[in-house]
Structure 1
């Protein structure tokens, strides 16, 4: 009986070794499959990295192009109209302030002349602040900044020399006084 037991043990041991051999071979096959999958994933990642670099490069080129276009695009008609509106409105207020400080009541012609003077001064300040020869050459991206610049402009920002009576205004005053 002990031979039978030994034989059984041997068979059991042989079966166990055979099963472990199969498991080991399956692990080797699985390892090969995993290795192949890893190579494919690495390849895909490399392709994705290349694509990401190309995309980032194109995106940077696009951003630079947009920046260049923004530097060249001037204000549109709506923005120009808003600038004009602010200038004309504030020029009237500044002319009123000028004559209030002078304690005088100007004729319509004299008021219009003084308002025109303030309009010219405001446009001059605006063009200087934005380094342009015409206010319509202000960059579109700076339109709101230009409008705010004008809104922030106050009567006290002008020097007495800038708001003095012009020769034309003096002539107009003399002419109107001569008619009285």
Structure 2
């Protein structure tokens, strides 16, 4: 990511989450140097089994994702606990300024609707792990063409249950 784009990303996030306007601060901060390598602690924080639930017109679904050694397994269950779809992908993490970026790629549907469908493209979002919560912030990167949304996952206390 070019240095100018990093600066705009850091500035946008700072404004969005702090409520501070540029007019209140006479100096423009120098963006931190980019550290493209993931930290062992960041990778350790991500690893594990996470879940969240969603309600749609088709009903309530539970989504479980597992991050392990730069691989993700994501499973969708209906309200009766039946597996509806399973996807796998690979991921990398990096730090850009003061935010962490999660990028997943080589996605493949391995069970359920659209079995065998693949997407080798990369998709990225800002993330943060805070205790037993994993926050995904979509739509904030300069290249995003999706509305801003925040997904909150909870670390599963019993990862053996589907």
How does the TM-score come out when normalised to structure 1? Answer: 0.25
- Structure number with higher relative contact order (C-alpha < 8 Å, ≥ 6 residues apart): 1
Higher helix share: 1
Greater strand proportion: 2
Greater radius of gyration (CA): 1
